[in-house]
Amino acid sequence: MAKRTPKRNLSLPLVDADTCACCGTPLPSGQGYDVPHIGAVGPVCATKFGALGELITWVNGRNVTDVSSQEAWRVGSRLIYTLKNIGFKVQVIDGVLQVGKLERKKKDAAKSYKRRRAELIRDLQLAQTLFDEKGEQLPLQGVA
């Protein structure tokens, strides 16, 4: 059987896994894509959850100061609220955003993510154009 890979280039690391954490499908390759706080998912679910994994990685560890524009603040706020609505604990510790554990059942979070996926992808793409990946910080003072 040919190895299936996600259609988009994902920054999710490969980890050893027997089954997909999302749908329970066996992974014949013995590897899955590690989505933070969800677990290892197969190639089909990786395309579904890829944006969520990228968002968690992108937000986690960002400084909440340095507001560069009102538009950037709004986009950053929407991303944080989307993560919270999906069921993640997001908090600010010493001025740095920390995406914590999933506070809902994985199946409930997956359903919530499916409803919000299109807006999350749109906002993540916009945020990636608004923020310079060389170090400009996500301006979310008092949001998380």
Answer yes or no: is 120 within a domain: yes
In this model, does residue 85 exceed pLDDT 80?
yes
**Look-up of token digits 């554990």:** 101
**Look-up of token digits 């154009």:** 129
Q: How many helices (H) and strands (E) does the chain have?
A: 3, 5
Q: Average pLDDT, stretch 15-28?
A: 90
Answer yes or no: is 8 within a domain: no
Range of the structural domain that residue 77 is part of: 14-130
Collapse the DSSP code of 115 into the 3-class scheme (helix H, G, I; strand E, B; otherwise coil) and give the result.
Answer: helix
Name the pLDDT band for 27 (thresholds 50, 70, 90). very high
Answer yes or no: is 142 within a domain: no
Name the pLDDT band for 129 (thresholds 50, 70, 90). confident
**Maximum pairwise Cα distance, the chain:** 50
Answer yes or no: is 73 within a domain: yes
Name the pLDDT band for 141 (thresholds 50, 70, 90). very low
Q: What is the DSSP letter of 52?
A: H
In this model, does residue 15 exceed pLDDT 90?
yes
